[in-house]
Amino acid sequence: MIICKITVMRTARYDDLILRYENPMEHACSMREGQVFYSENATCPQGFCESAWQSLYPFVLTLACGGGDFYDGWMRNKKSAMISCNDGFRPVSFLVEATV
């Protein structure tokens, strides 16, 4: 299997939505822009957010198995995908790339 590089490209935080809808949380997202993780054998990298992994996993698995070209030409690099986690209060955008 191909190793996939996962880079944190952008983080956001919507304080108005957090104040209005979210229950207080002791620990929220700790991802930082520029942070890099590597997935070997399409497994979740150590220290990676489990919730974000749920969003990225199908793309990582496809790239790790040699696939790509998601949605018929969506990405300039056919061996990559720009995926966001599913946290509506603190979304994080990740660039997932096959390392070939």
Beta strands in the chain (DSSP E): 4-11, 36-39, 80-84, 92-98
**Distance of alpha carbon 51 from alpha carbon 85, whole angstroms:** 7
Per-residue pLDDT reduced to its tens digit, 17-27:
999 999 988 77
Q: How many structural domains does the chain have?
A: 1
Range of the domain at 57: 4-98
pLDDT, mean of residues 74-92: 96
Averaged pLDDT, 36-64: 97
pLDDT of residue 25: 82
Q: For tokens 């199908």, name the residue.
A: 58
Residue 67 has pLDDT above 80, yes or no: yes
Q: Report yes or no: 97 and 77 within 8 Å, Cβ to Cβ.
A: yes
Distance of alpha carbon 63 from alpha carbon 99, whole angstroms: 9
